[in-house]
Amino acid sequence: MRRPLRLLKGMARDIIASRELAWRLFVRDTSIQYRQTVFGYFWAVFPPLVTSMVFILMNHSNLLKMKETGIPYPVYVVMGTVFFGLFSDSLMAPLKVVNGSKTMLVKINFPREALVWAAILQTFMGFSIKLVLLILTMIIFHVPVKITSFIVPVPLLGLLLMGITIGVFLVPFGILFQDVMYGLQLALTGLMFLTPVVYPPPSNGLLAKIVAYNPMTTLLMSARDFMIKGSSIYVMDMMIVIIIMILLLFIAWVIIRIAFPIVIERIGT
Amino acid sequence: MDEDTFIKVEHLSKKFCRNLKKSLWYGAKDLVWEIAGQRRGHNILRNGEFWALNDVSFEVKRGEMLGLIGQNGAGKSTLLKVLNGLITPDSGKVTIKGCVQALIELGAGFSPILTGRENVYINASVLGISKTKIDQTLPYIVEFAGISEFMESPVQSYSSGMKARLGFAVITQLDPDILLIDEVLAVGDTAFQEKCMRRMDELRQSNKAIIFVTHSLYQVEALCNKALWLDRGRVVQYGVAGDVVRAYLDNQERLAIDQSQKEGKIYEGHITLATKAYFEKRSREGKGGALVTRFSNTEELIQIRKVEVSDGCGKVGNEFPFLTDLTIRIYYYALARVTRPLFNLRFFSKGYSIFEASMLIDGHGLEWVEGEGIVECTIPALPLTPKLYEIKLFVRSGEGICDVSITRTIAQFRITDDRLERVPLRGPMAVNHMRQGSPVYFPRIWKFYDGDGITLLKKIEAGYDHES
């Protein structure tokens, strides 16, 4: 922090130097993750599938009656959970990758940016598999996609950015204290219900206010709207959220560069 | 800074905390302060903290090798971590010129469930070696590691020695200006350790700056120019490797004597009294012989009590003149009856085995040994040039297959340039070349012939005890 120019130079150098390593780490983590399993890559699909099934069943049996969503409810829920999954995966990924590389971190000085890149790649990978689930659901329920679908990657990128940014911010503290990991898992469950993932945005009540101020709503709803409606009232908000996230990610990046040497000495050998 | 100075460390200090919870809490606080761009109280110790490094200064030049010595917890590894940029110092200055590469642990971050090949690629890329380079050198790596048939098996099925071999094979591909090595040579079998030592010697000769942590004082003296002796974070002595090593040895001996005086102990070798009694009982019952084949590494049948190295006049020491009649006297204790024990003395210089006095070649002496005994080996006119040497001993049982005493270093000695004139020193660099060149001196005869190959023009004879 005391020598900002040198810091920036180092950052530029390391982000370039870390690409190949990031790919290796990604390949390593993916292989480890699925090599000792029977179902392999299906494990990426199971969580959103199960969550969706629960809500579809509850809605179907009138236990939880949702407002009209404009499209078949199963498609609405699957889309919501898949998109929200992108956020939650990218939120958890940085800490997971860092924890998985702890032994290397304390022994070898390699560009730490590689860990963040690897986290992004992993999230992408998981998301691509889940996307297959979404497309299948849409085909089954004959839901056509709108031409504006090509904009969908923008809000999706926003979701990824938001998850990664918060995730990176938490990495230094997450290395020191396991509490961060436990807390994150808990917070995600709560956050899912404060975001219109399984229900359409409510128009009144306390929840309506929370949902309206939740930046996740903007990103999630605009992605949905561009996919099936063809227009969205959230465009401006979405752009603002994305710009803020890019700035925050830069700050988070600076912070982890400063933080790593301090944190590493605390976790020892 | 001097053009050739690669590493310069000035008044470096670093503090650590003994308590985990406190340490984590201090870490979080430091983190917040550092992000705020401020540094507070880095010169004072907080509750529970201590100086892991305290006011350390030194420098390493191109082509130099610095040995770090000191007891466990002296701060050697911490120093390497600071130099490698893994952790930041609390005060002081570190200036580094060139690309640093640290070998703090071989195969750090190997994933047990991935194959050897996959791990090579990951390890290499963490160390900053590109994929294309690894693609090219993979056959060489596999060959160096010597585990080709295991490359496609998961690393979790490897022995620790195999993991170390693979890790070292990868790092031989590195080409840094500055190399930091932390006790990586402590793993693996003897042959592998020798291989590593040779590689280190090559690296030193290729004009790199090397910092080397080890507990083998022989390695420090044989490989390093300079040594730094650390004790509880402070520099005790810094200077020419030989001097520092001697001072350190003196100190260790003093400590050991103090300790044994305090405890009132008499030296009993490595055997516990219970094991000794057990083996004595067995040998009384005539079952001793059977133990030879049931030998395990933890119970060496022949214990080495004491070793004396002396010159032709019987003077015990560790410095001898050139062409001395070297005598190695080994006081052993056989726990049980060992038939036809075969003693092997292997001489090393800079990690290379150069010569062997072996009963595997010369034949056994006694039909059996039991209890205390002494074996002595004299090498008349030892033809070793002035250098530092190390002797390793292992003892095999009668059939020559089974070790009854594992390989260990039993003595280190130095040949001085005293009485070097027992051989002709006619050349322009005779003395210096004897000191720095190859370790063994053999008598020889040189002849110059005319172009026809018959007419002898000149003959030079060089042998022991020439008439001067």
Residue at A2 is within a domain: no
Q: Are residues B354 and B432 in the same domain?
A: no
When CB atoms are compared, the residue of A31, A176, A264 closest to B114 is: A31
Does residue B462 sit in helix, strand or coil?
strand
The partner residue sitting opposite A28, judged by closest CB among B105, B122, B130, is B122
Domain presence at residue B134: no
The pLDDT of residue B270 is 35
Q: What is the mean pLDDT of residues B4-13?
A: 90
Which residues contact residue B310 at a Cβ distance below 8 angstroms, ignoring those fewer than 6 apart? B316, B317, B326, B327, B329
The verdict on B433 and B406 lying in the same domain is no
- Chain A CB contacts of B105 below 8 Å: 107
Please check whether residue B389 is in contact with residue B415, taking contact to mean a CB–CB distance below 8 angstroms.
Answer: yes
- List pLDDT tens digits, range B357-379: 999 899 888 998 988 999 999 99
Cβ contact A107–B128 (<8 Å) = no
To the nearest whole Å, the CA of A230 is away from the closest chain B CA by 44
Average pLDDT, integer, range B163-180: 81
> Do B367 and B385 belong to one domain?
yes
* Shortest alpha-carbon distance between residue B211 and chain A (Å): 16
Average pLDDT over residues B429-440: 80
Identify whether B284 is part of a domain. Answer: no
Q: Look up the pTM and report it.
A: 0.68
Cβ of A262 within 8 Å of Cβ of B31? The answer is yes
Q: How many CB atoms lie within 10 A of CB B333?
A: 21
Residue corresponding to tokens 């929370």: A210
Q: What is the pLDDT of residues B130-160, one digit of tens each?
A: 888 888 888 888 887 888 888 888 888 888 7
Domain boundary, last residue among B393, B415, B437: B415
B468 within a domain of the structure (yes/no) = no
- Whether A145 is covered by a domain: the verdict is yes
How many structural domains are present in chain A? Answer: 1
CB < 8 Å to A259, chain B: 31, 34-35
Residue B293 falls inside a structural domain: no
ipTM of the complex: 0.74
Looking at residue A20, what is its pLDDT?
83
pLDDT of res. B174: 76
pLDDT value of residue B292: 33
Q: Given a cut of 90, is residue B166 above it in pLDDT?
A: no
Domain end marker among B253, B287, B311:
B253
B204-227 pLDDT, tens digit per residue, is 788 888 898 887 777 787 788 899
Asked which of A119-133, A168-182, A249-263, B395-409 is least confident by mean pLDDT, the reply is B395-409
What's B57's domain CATH number? 3.40.50.300
B343: pLDDT confidence band, cut at 50, 70 and 90?
very high
Domain contains A4: no
- Whole-number Å distance between alpha carbons of A4 and B454: 79
Of A259-263, B29-33, B88-92, B264-268, the least confident: B264-268
Q: How many CB pairs under 8 A join A and B?
A: 100
Confirm whether A7 is domain-assigned. Answer: no
d(CA A147, CA A227): 8
The answer to whether residue A192 sits within a structural domain is yes
Whether the per-residue pLDDT at B266 is higher than 50: the answer is: no
The nearest CA of chain A is from the CA of B51 a distance in Å of 14
Tell me how close the Cα of A184 comes to any Cα of chain B, in angstroms. Answer: 18
Choose between B221 and B5: higher pLDDT.
B5
B123, part of any domain? no
- Average pLDDT of chain A, as a whole number: 87
What per-residue confidence (pLDDT) applies to B278? 46
Please answer yes or no on whether B35 and A255 come within 8 Å at the CB atom: yes
My answer on whether B438 and B362 are in the same domain is no
Smallest CA–CA distance, residue B118 to chain A, in Å, is 8
Q: Is the pLDDT of residue B122 over 80?
A: yes
Q: Nearest-CA distance from A36 to chain B in Å? A: 8
Picking from B342, B412, B426, the residue whose alpha carbon sits closest to that of residue B384 is: B412
Residue B187 pLDDT class (50, 70, 90 cuts): low
Q: Are residues B325 and B211 in the same domain?
A: no
The pLDDT value given to residue B257: 55
Structure confidence at residue B123 as a pLDDT band (50, 70, 90): confident
* Mean pLDDT value across residues B302-318: 85
Confidence of residue B273 (pLDDT cuts 50, 70, 90): very low
Q: Decide: residue A172, CB within 10 A, 0-12 exposed, 13-18 middle, 19+ buried.
A: buried
Q: Per this entry, what is the length of chain A? A: 269
Show the tokens assigned to B465.
């005890």
Which stretches of chain B sit within 8 Å of chain A by CB? 16, 23-24, 26-28, 30-31, 34-37, 77, 81, 84-88, 100, 102, 104-105, 108-109, 111, 113-114, 118, 121-122, 125-128, 130-131
DSSP state of B187: S
- Asked if A255's CB is within 8 angstroms of B27's CB, the reply is no
Output the pLDDT for position A143. Answer: 86
Query: Residue written as tokens 């690409």?
Result: A19
Q: What is the dihedral of CA B397, B400, B402, B406, to 10 degrees?
A: 80
Sorting pLDDT into bands at 50, 70 and 90, what band is A85?
Answer: very high
With a cut of 90, say whether residue B289 has pLDDT above it.
no
Q: What are phi and psi of A130, to 5 degrees?
A: -65, -30
**Token couple for A180:** 């961060």
CATH (domain of B349): 2.70.50.60
The verdict on residue B128 lying in a domain is no
- Measured between CA atoms, how close is B43 to chain A, in angstroms? 16
The dihedral over CA atoms of A40, A43, A45, A49, expressed in degrees to the nearest 10, equals: 140
Percent of chain A with pLDDT over 90: 30
Using one digit for the tens of pLDDT, what is the confidence trace for A93-106? 999 989 888 888 88
CB B329 within 8 A of CB B308: yes
% residues pLDDT > 90 (chain B): 18
What local confidence, expressed as pLDDT, does residue B267 receive? 32
B46-102, pLDDT tens digit by residue? 888 888 899 999 999 888 899 999 888 888 888 988 898 888 888 888 998 888 887
| Residue B425 counted as domain residue | yes
CB A174 within 8 A of CB A95: yes
Residue B125 has pLDDT above 60, yes or no: yes
Question: Which chain A residues are within 8 Å of B15, Cβ to Cβ?
Answer: none
Q: Do A264 and B111 touch (CB under 8 A)?
A: no
Residues of A in contact with B37 (CB under 8 A): 1-2
Residue B376 lies inside a defined structural domain of this protein: yes
Is residue B350 over pLDDT 70?
yes
Q: What percent of chain B has pLDDT over 70?
A: 87
B200 and B338, same domain (yes or no):
no
Mean pLDDT check: name the lowest of A52-56, A133-137, A158-162, B271-275. Answer: B271-275
Supply the range of the domain harboring residue B245.
Answer: 5-98+177-253
Same domain, B362 and B429: no
Q: What's the distance, CA A123 to chain centroid?
A: 7
- Per the CB < 8 A criterion, the answer to whether B82 and B11 are in contact is no
Q: Percent helix, strand, coil in chain B (nearest 5)?
A: 30, 35, 35
**Spatial distance between the Cα atoms of B84 and A106, rounded to a whole number of angstroms:** 11
Ranked by mean pLDDT, the top range of B29-33, B240-244, B368-372, B462-466 is B368-372
How far off is chain B from A176, nearest CA to CA, in Å? 6
Q: Do B21 and B51 belong together in one domain?
A: yes
Chain B CB contacts of A177 under 8 Å are 24, 28
> What pLDDT shows up at residue A92?
93
Q: What is the pLDDT of residue B293?
A: 31
Write out the residues of chain A at the interface with chain B, using a CB-CB cutoff of 8 A. Answer: 1-2, 17, 20-21, 24-25, 27-28, 31-32, 35-36, 101, 103-104, 106-110, 172-173, 176-177, 255, 258-259, 261-266, 269
Out of B16, B105, B114, name the one closest to residue A28 (CB): B114
- The structural domain count of chain B equals 3
Tell whether the model's pLDDT for residue A183 goes beyond 80.
yes
CB contact under 8 A, A108 and B127: yes
- What pLDDT score does B329 carry? 92
Q: Which domain holds residue A196?
A: 13-268
Q: Give residue B35's pLDDT band: very low, low, confident or very high (50, 70, 90).
A: confident
Least CA distance to A26: which residue of chain B? B122
Q: Phi then psi for B268, rounded to 5 degrees?
A: -120, 20
